[in-house]
Structure 1
Amino acid sequence: MPETLQKAFAQLEEDPTVYHTMNGPNEFYITGSLRTWSVLDTLHTITQPTLVINGRYDEAQDVCVAPFFEKIPKAKWLHFSESSHMPFSEEMDRYFLHVARFLKS
């Protein structure tokens, strides 16, 4: 596990107040304030170009990501075939190449 991710998890463990309030015990059993929250009905109002990213082994599977790509007018979708939820770490070169291209476009 990358050091930066280890630090993030350590900080979360040190003070989980916000995570537990908003999410609950974990992302698979949501009991917090985000339980019924959704942005799907307002995605069409996003006017800026938007980069949507997920990985083949991601918990955010294509079925979860597709509505963002379909409803945001200027969305581009990048799927990383060798990544889980962290293509910035797992496919670093490809990730930063495509993010840089997106930001320049």
Structure 2
Amino acid sequence: MVTWVEEANRLRKQLPQGVQEALQKHEDDGTTESKEYEAAVEVFYAKHVCRIDPMPKEVLDTFENIKVDPTVYHTMNGPSEFFVIGSLKSWDITDRLKNIQAPTLLINGYYDEATNLVSEPYFREIPHIKWFTFAESSHMPHWEERDRFMEVVSGFLEY
């Protein structure tokens, strides 16, 4: 999670200055439930979580469900992908990845918040792993490149 947050914050620094300022202001003030903060987070999500515009209804429904009852997400993560203050803040299982013996498919997108730096330890440590990066996706290649996603997953399962 430490690398995740570092990378999410690196990506955050690439957002427009006004968006960065709004995020910082509300995190400093403890007002991360404000509409302005949510709108700023949505700018990040549109670049690194789901690049489809407008986002699919199912994706929007998921975000809406988190807003209706944020208990689990906020307890474990915090108010956003880059302001992690929950129980996962220092979570790390890197030292146990070598114990995964099942064939594993690791995926991410070129624009993903799960950057290559975040994904690389899994690739390095899991013994039987295949890594595929979707060229036109962020965090949801199952939406952003559905046909290619199905090909990759099917090919892996046939292996």
Q: State the structure with more CA Rg.
A: 2
Gaps of 5+ in 2: 1-54
Higher helix proportion, which one?
2
2:69 matched residue in structure 1: 15
Residues 1:30 and 2:84 aligned together:
yes
Establish whether residue 70 from structure 1 lines up as the match of residue 97 from structure 2: no
Separation of aligned partners in 2, 1:104 and 1:4 = 28
Q: Which residue does 1:104 correspond to in 2?
A: 158
| Alpha-carbon distance in structure 2 between the residues aligned to 1:36 and 1:9 | 24
Q: Which has the higher contact order (CA 8 A, sep 6+)?
A: 2
Query: Over the residues paired in the alignment, what is the CA RMSD in angstroms?
Result: 0.7
CA distance in 2, matches of 1:27, 1:49: 28
**AA matched with 1:9:** F
Alignment correspondent of 1:95? 149
The gaps in structure 1 that reach 5 residues or longer are none
Identical counterparts, % of pairs: 50
Runs of 4+ in 1 over 3 A off after TM superposition: none
| TM-score normalised by L of structure 1 | 0.97
Match of residue 31 from structure 2: none
Indicate yes or no: 2:56 matched with 1:2: yes
What does the per-residue CA deviation read over 1:47-101, in whole Å, with 9 as the maximum and x for residues that have no partner?
0011100111111111111110110000100111111111111111110011011
